[in-house]
Amino acid sequence: MGWSGPLNYTNDTGEIASVVRSWEDRFGARVVGAAFSDLYLSVSAPPSTHEEALRIAAEHFAFCPDDIWQNSTPATLTSYAEGLIGLNAWEFWWD
């Protein structure tokens, strides 16, 4: 579709699509927007426990490390995971 949002991280938007597709099956994720270097998802079944949130936070880190390194305060996987519990919108930004 011509979107090159994660270009600074990967040139393969097929990888991005396959991860989002997996999240669609597991969390009811749907793409609701895309911008130059951003991707916005609605999530109908977000993680509800710390353990589940920590696992998905690790997936988010592998998918888009900039979200944890540059957009999370403090920049730790645990603090990022805490913010995912019950969160119905996931945003990704690649620097």
CB neighbours of residue 16 within 10 Å = 19
Q: pLDDT tens, position by position, for the chain (95 residues)?
A: 567 666 677 777 788 889 999 999 999 999 999 888 889 999 999 999 999 999 999 999 999 988 888 766 667 899 999 999 999 999 998 87
The pTM for the full model equals 0.87
- Amino acid identity of residue 57, one-letter, is A
Across the chain, which distance is largest between two alpha carbons, in Å?
Answer: 36
Question: Taking the domains of the chain in order of start, what are their residue ranges?
Answer: 13-93
Q: At what angle do helices 50-63 and 13-27 cross, to 10 degrees?
A: 170
